[in-house]
Homo-oligomer: A and B are copies of this chain.
Protein backbone atom coordinates (compact mmCIF):
# COMPACT_ATOMS: atom_id res chain seq x y z
CA UNK A 1 0.00 0.00 0.00
CA UNK A 2 1.32 3.43 -0.97
CA UNK A 3 1.44 5.85 1.98
CA UNK A 4 1.78 9.58 1.33
CA UNK A 5 1.66 12.18 4.10
CA UNK A 6 0.36 15.59 3.02
CA UNK A 7 2.34 17.36 5.72
CA UNK A 8 4.82 16.71 8.50
CA UNK A 9 7.21 18.99 10.33
CA UNK A 10 9.95 16.91 11.91
CA UNK A 11 13.44 17.63 13.20
CA UNK A 12 14.84 14.66 11.31
CA UNK A 13 17.55 12.29 12.42
CA UNK A 14 18.43 8.77 11.32
CA UNK A 15 16.08 7.10 13.81
CA UNK A 16 13.07 9.17 12.76
CA UNK A 17 13.77 8.67 9.06
CA UNK A 18 14.12 4.94 9.56
CA UNK A 19 10.83 4.96 11.46
CA UNK A 20 9.11 6.61 8.48
CA UNK A 21 10.79 4.37 5.92
CA UNK A 22 10.08 1.21 7.91
CA UNK A 23 6.53 2.45 8.49
CA UNK A 24 6.07 2.20 4.75
CA UNK A 25 5.85 5.95 4.05
CA UNK A 26 6.52 6.61 0.36
CA UNK A 27 6.50 10.41 0.47
CA UNK A 28 6.16 13.29 2.91
CA UNK A 29 5.44 16.93 2.19
CA UNK A 30 7.95 18.69 4.45
CA UNK A 31 7.99 22.34 5.52
CA UNK A 32 10.89 24.48 4.32
CA UNK A 33 9.64 27.83 5.66
CA UNK A 34 7.12 29.47 7.99
CA UNK A 35 8.27 33.09 8.25
CA UNK A 36 11.64 32.89 6.54
CA UNK A 37 12.52 35.47 3.91
CA UNK A 38 14.18 34.57 0.60
CA UNK A 39 17.72 34.36 1.90
CA UNK A 40 16.78 32.37 4.99
CA UNK A 41 14.77 29.95 2.89
CA UNK A 42 17.76 29.26 0.65
CA UNK A 43 19.73 28.37 3.78
CA UNK A 44 17.00 25.92 4.77
CA UNK A 45 17.09 24.38 1.30
CA UNK A 46 20.87 24.14 1.64
CA UNK A 47 20.38 22.25 4.91
CA UNK A 48 18.07 19.82 3.12
CA UNK A 49 20.75 19.25 0.48
CA UNK A 50 23.00 18.14 3.33
CA UNK A 51 20.30 15.83 4.70
CA UNK A 52 19.91 14.25 1.25
CA UNK A 53 23.64 13.51 1.22
CA UNK A 54 23.85 12.35 4.84
CA UNK A 55 20.76 10.13 4.61
CA UNK A 56 21.17 9.13 1.00
CA UNK A 57 20.12 5.58 1.92
CA UNK A 58 16.81 6.75 3.41
CA UNK A 59 15.46 9.79 1.54
CA UNK A 60 15.27 11.17 -1.98
CA UNK A 61 13.88 14.44 -3.37
CA UNK A 62 10.48 14.44 -5.10
CA UNK A 63 9.94 16.84 -8.00
CA UNK A 64 7.41 14.81 -9.99
CA UNK A 65 4.72 12.29 -9.09
CA UNK A 66 6.81 9.52 -10.60
CA UNK A 67 9.57 10.37 -8.11
CA UNK A 68 7.14 9.21 -5.39
CA UNK A 69 6.85 5.81 -7.06
CA UNK A 70 10.60 5.65 -7.60
CA UNK A 71 11.18 6.42 -3.91
CA UNK A 72 9.09 3.39 -3.02
CA UNK A 73 11.01 1.19 -5.45
CA UNK A 74 14.26 2.30 -3.81
CA UNK A 75 12.81 1.71 -0.34
CA UNK A 76 13.34 5.38 0.47
CA UNK A 77 11.06 8.16 1.70
CA UNK A 78 10.36 10.77 -0.97
CA UNK A 79 10.64 14.35 0.25
CA UNK A 80 8.37 17.04 -1.22
CA UNK A 81 9.43 20.63 -0.46
CA UNK A 82 6.71 23.05 0.60
CA UNK A 83 6.27 26.47 2.20
CA UNK A 84 3.64 27.11 4.88
CA UNK A 85 3.69 30.80 3.98
CA UNK A 86 4.56 33.02 1.04
CA UNK A 87 7.34 34.86 2.90
CA UNK A 88 10.07 33.14 0.82
CA UNK A 89 9.02 34.98 -2.34
CA UNK A 90 8.96 38.34 -0.53
CA UNK A 91 7.39 40.82 -2.96
CA UNK A 92 8.88 39.27 -6.09
CA UNK A 93 6.77 37.32 -8.58
CA UNK A 94 9.93 36.03 -10.24
CA UNK A 95 10.79 33.95 -7.19
CA UNK A 96 7.90 31.54 -7.78
CA UNK A 97 9.76 29.99 -10.70
CA UNK A 98 13.11 30.29 -8.92
CA UNK A 99 11.82 28.23 -5.98
CA UNK A 100 10.05 25.83 -8.32
CA UNK A 101 13.43 25.16 -9.93
CA UNK A 102 14.80 24.48 -6.46
CA UNK A 103 12.16 21.79 -6.02
CA UNK A 104 9.39 23.60 -4.11
CA UNK A 105 6.06 22.10 -5.19
CA UNK A 106 3.56 23.44 -2.62
CA UNK A 107 3.11 26.93 -1.13
CA UNK A 108 0.52 28.29 1.28
CA UNK A 109 -0.67 31.76 0.37
CA UNK A 110 -0.86 32.83 4.02
CA UNK A 111 0.01 31.45 7.43
CA UNK A 112 -2.44 32.47 10.19
CA UNK A 113 -1.89 36.21 9.52
CA UNK A 114 -2.53 38.49 6.58
CA UNK A 115 0.17 38.03 3.93
CA UNK A 116 0.95 39.93 0.75
CA UNK A 117 -1.24 37.37 -1.06
CA UNK A 118 -4.12 36.29 1.17
CA UNK A 119 -5.63 36.43 4.64
CA UNK A 120 -4.76 33.99 7.42
CA UNK A 121 -7.27 32.07 9.52
CA UNK A 122 -6.68 34.10 12.72
CA UNK A 123 -7.37 37.55 11.23
CA UNK A 124 -10.72 39.10 12.15
CA UNK A 125 -11.48 40.28 8.61
CA UNK A 126 -10.71 38.70 5.29
CA UNK A 127 -10.65 41.00 2.25
CA UNK A 128 -9.78 38.09 -0.05
CA UNK A 129 -6.96 37.50 -2.50
CA UNK A 130 -4.79 40.59 -3.03
CA UNK A 131 -3.65 42.07 -6.35
CA UNK A 132 -0.23 40.45 -5.93
CA UNK A 133 -1.99 37.26 -4.84
CA UNK A 134 -3.80 37.02 -8.16
CA UNK A 135 -0.52 37.31 -10.03
CA UNK A 136 1.11 34.65 -7.85
CA UNK A 137 -1.80 32.25 -8.33
CA UNK A 138 -1.45 32.62 -12.09
CA UNK A 139 2.31 32.06 -11.88
CA UNK A 140 1.94 29.02 -9.58
CA UNK A 141 -0.54 27.58 -12.08
CA UNK A 142 1.96 28.16 -14.87
CA UNK A 143 5.02 26.56 -13.29
CA UNK A 144 3.21 23.74 -11.49
CA UNK A 145 3.30 24.75 -7.84
CA UNK A 146 0.33 23.70 -5.71
CA UNK A 147 -1.66 26.42 -3.95
CA UNK A 148 -2.22 25.36 -0.32
CA UNK A 149 -4.79 27.20 1.86
CA UNK A 150 -4.40 25.17 5.07
CA UNK A 151 -3.80 28.21 7.29
CA UNK A 152 -5.83 30.72 5.27
CA UNK A 153 -9.17 32.35 6.05
CA UNK A 154 -12.44 31.38 4.40
CA UNK A 155 -13.05 34.09 1.86
CA UNK A 156 -9.44 34.01 0.66
CA UNK A 157 -9.68 30.23 0.36
CA UNK A 158 -12.89 30.37 -1.67
CA UNK A 159 -11.42 33.05 -3.92
CA UNK A 160 -8.24 31.04 -4.43
CA UNK A 161 -10.29 28.01 -5.47
CA UNK A 162 -12.16 30.22 -7.90
CA UNK A 163 -9.19 32.17 -9.27
CA UNK A 164 -6.89 29.20 -9.73
CA UNK A 165 -7.20 27.49 -13.08
CA UNK A 166 -5.86 24.30 -11.53
CA UNK A 167 -7.18 22.44 -8.47
CA UNK A 168 -5.78 23.66 -5.16
CA UNK A 169 -5.15 21.85 -1.88
CA UNK A 170 -5.61 22.04 1.85
CA UNK A 171 -2.78 19.76 2.88
CA UNK A 172 -3.54 19.60 6.61
CA UNK A 173 -6.80 20.57 8.32
CA UNK A 174 -10.05 18.94 9.39
CA UNK A 175 -13.69 19.78 8.78
CA UNK A 176 -15.25 22.23 11.21
CA UNK A 177 -18.15 19.82 11.67
CA UNK A 178 -15.66 17.48 13.39
CA UNK A 179 -13.97 20.10 15.56
CA UNK A 180 -14.87 23.75 15.35
CA UNK A 181 -11.48 25.50 15.34
CA UNK A 182 -10.47 28.54 13.31
CA UNK A 183 -7.92 26.35 11.53
CA UNK A 184 -10.52 23.78 10.45
CA UNK A 185 -12.65 24.17 7.32
CA UNK A 186 -16.36 24.81 6.77
CA UNK A 187 -18.47 22.51 4.65
CA UNK A 188 -18.75 25.39 2.19
CA UNK A 189 -14.99 25.31 1.71
CA UNK A 190 -14.86 21.50 1.49
CA UNK A 191 -17.57 21.49 -1.17
CA UNK A 192 -15.92 24.22 -3.22
CA UNK A 193 -12.52 22.54 -2.90
CA UNK A 194 -13.90 19.17 -4.03
CA UNK A 195 -16.00 20.76 -6.74
CA UNK A 196 -12.91 22.17 -8.41
CA UNK A 197 -10.99 18.90 -8.15
CA UNK A 198 -8.93 19.86 -5.11
CA UNK A 199 -7.94 17.74 -2.13
CA UNK A 200 -8.04 17.83 1.67
CA UNK A 201 -5.40 16.16 3.83
CA UNK A 202 -7.01 15.32 7.18
CA UNK A 203 -4.90 16.24 10.18
CA UNK A 204 -3.81 14.37 13.28
CA UNK A 205 -2.51 17.43 15.08
CA UNK A 206 -4.41 17.27 18.37
CA UNK A 207 -5.66 20.89 18.19
CA UNK A 208 -7.49 19.91 14.98
CA UNK A 209 -9.15 16.82 16.54
CA UNK A 210 -12.40 16.33 18.43
CA UNK A 211 -11.36 15.92 22.08
CA UNK A 212 -7.75 16.74 21.17
CA UNK A 213 -5.24 14.11 22.18
CA UNK A 214 -8.09 11.90 23.45
CA UNK A 215 -9.74 11.61 20.03
CA UNK A 216 -10.26 7.94 19.24
CA UNK A 217 -9.20 6.18 16.06
CA UNK A 218 -12.85 5.36 15.37
CA UNK A 219 -13.94 9.00 15.73
CA UNK A 220 -11.13 10.04 13.38
CA UNK A 221 -12.04 7.43 10.77
CA UNK A 222 -15.75 8.21 11.00
CA UNK A 223 -14.83 11.85 10.32
CA UNK A 224 -12.99 10.70 7.19
CA UNK A 225 -16.07 8.75 6.09
CA UNK A 226 -18.29 11.79 6.59
CA UNK A 227 -15.79 13.98 4.74
CA UNK A 228 -15.64 11.52 1.85
CA UNK A 229 -19.44 11.70 1.70
CA UNK A 230 -19.20 15.46 1.18
CA UNK A 231 -16.11 15.66 -1.01
CA UNK A 232 -15.96 12.31 -2.78
CA UNK A 233 -13.57 9.49 -1.93
CA UNK A 234 -10.92 10.68 -4.41
CA UNK A 235 -10.62 14.09 -2.74
CA UNK A 236 -9.42 12.97 0.71
CA UNK A 237 -5.94 12.01 1.89
CA UNK A 238 -3.90 12.16 5.08
CA UNK A 239 -1.97 15.31 6.02
CA UNK A 240 -0.96 14.31 9.51
CA UNK A 241 0.74 17.57 10.56
CA UNK A 242 2.96 15.28 12.63
CA UNK A 243 5.56 17.37 14.48
CA UNK A 244 8.44 15.55 16.12
CA UNK A 245 11.64 16.25 18.00
CA UNK A 246 11.29 20.03 18.29
CA UNK A 247 11.63 22.10 21.44
CA UNK A 248 9.24 24.82 22.57
CA UNK A 249 11.32 27.53 20.88
CA UNK A 250 10.43 26.09 17.48
CA UNK A 251 6.75 26.23 18.36
CA UNK A 252 7.22 29.85 19.43
CA UNK A 253 8.85 30.59 16.05
CA UNK A 254 5.97 28.92 14.20
CA UNK A 255 3.40 30.89 16.17
CA UNK A 256 5.03 34.27 16.72
CA UNK A 257 7.71 34.53 14.04
CA UNK A 258 8.94 38.10 14.15
CA UNK A 259 5.49 39.67 13.93
CA UNK A 260 4.84 40.09 17.66
CA UNK A 261 6.97 41.03 20.63
CA UNK A 262 4.32 39.40 22.78
CA UNK A 263 3.36 35.75 22.97
CA UNK A 264 0.89 34.19 20.59
CA UNK A 265 -0.39 30.79 21.61
CA UNK A 266 -1.78 29.93 18.19
CA UNK A 267 -4.10 26.99 18.58
CA UNK A 268 -2.94 26.49 22.16
CA UNK A 269 -3.63 28.60 25.25
CA UNK A 270 -1.50 30.11 28.02
CA UNK A 271 -2.45 27.13 30.17
CA UNK A 272 -1.71 24.65 27.40
CA UNK A 273 1.00 26.21 25.33
CA UNK A 274 3.37 23.27 24.79
CA UNK A 275 3.43 20.79 21.93
CA UNK A 276 0.28 18.69 22.41
CA UNK A 277 0.56 14.93 22.93
CA UNK A 278 -0.31 12.84 19.88
CA UNK A 279 -3.15 10.31 20.15
CA UNK A 280 -1.52 7.02 21.17
CA UNK A 281 -2.78 5.35 17.98
CA UNK A 282 -0.83 7.89 15.89
CA UNK A 283 2.27 8.76 17.85
CA UNK A 284 4.70 8.59 14.95
CA UNK A 285 5.28 7.52 11.34
CA UNK A 286 5.20 3.83 12.21
CA UNK A 287 1.47 4.12 12.96
CA UNK A 288 -0.02 4.67 9.50
CA UNK A 289 -1.10 1.02 9.57
CA UNK A 290 -3.40 1.85 12.48
CA UNK A 291 -5.23 4.40 10.35
CA UNK A 292 -5.57 1.96 7.46
CA UNK A 293 -6.99 -0.63 9.85
CA UNK A 294 -9.33 1.96 11.37
CA UNK A 295 -10.60 2.90 7.92
CA UNK A 296 -11.37 -0.75 7.21
CA UNK A 297 -13.19 -0.99 10.53
CA UNK A 298 -15.54 1.88 9.67
CA UNK A 299 -16.42 0.18 6.38
CA UNK A 300 -14.01 1.30 3.65
CA UNK A 301 -13.02 -1.43 1.23
CA UNK A 302 -9.36 -2.10 0.45
CA UNK A 303 -9.31 0.03 -2.68
CA UNK A 304 -10.76 3.02 -0.85
CA UNK A 305 -8.36 2.59 2.05
CA UNK A 306 -5.51 2.60 -0.47
CA UNK A 307 -6.91 5.77 -2.06
CA UNK A 308 -7.04 7.62 1.24
CA UNK A 309 -3.65 6.40 2.43
CA UNK A 310 -1.76 7.50 -0.68
CA UNK A 311 -3.24 6.75 -4.09
CA UNK A 312 -5.29 9.95 -4.12
CA UNK A 313 -2.24 12.09 -3.37
CA UNK A 314 -0.26 10.36 -6.09
CA UNK A 315 -2.93 10.97 -8.72
CA UNK A 316 -3.31 14.55 -7.54
CA UNK A 317 0.44 15.23 -7.66
CA UNK A 318 0.51 13.74 -11.15
CA UNK A 319 -1.74 16.52 -12.42
CA UNK A 320 -0.50 19.25 -10.07
CA UNK A 321 3.29 19.05 -10.35
CA UNK A 322 3.33 19.09 -14.16
CA UNK A 323 3.94 22.48 -15.77
CA UNK A 324 0.78 24.35 -16.70
CA UNK A 325 -0.52 24.64 -20.21
CA UNK A 326 -0.71 28.44 -20.08
CA UNK A 327 1.84 30.77 -21.69
Contact = CB atoms under 8 A, between A and B. Distances in A.
For this chain, the copies found in one complex come to 2
Interface of A: 38-39, 42-43, 45-47, 49-50, 53, 92-95, 97-98, 101-103, 327
B101 A42 contact: no
Contacts of A49: 94, 97-98
A143 to B, nearest CB: 9
8 contacts: A38-B39, A39-B39, A43-B92, A45-B94, A46-B94, A49-B94, A50-B94, A102-B102
A103 B101 CA distance: 9
Contacts of A50: 94
Contacts of A53: 327
A102 B49 CA distance: 14
B102 A46 contact: no
A38 B39 CA distance: 7
A49 B98 CA distance: 9
A95 B38 contact: no
A256 to B, nearest CB: 24
A49 B99 CA distance: 12
A102 B98 contact: yes
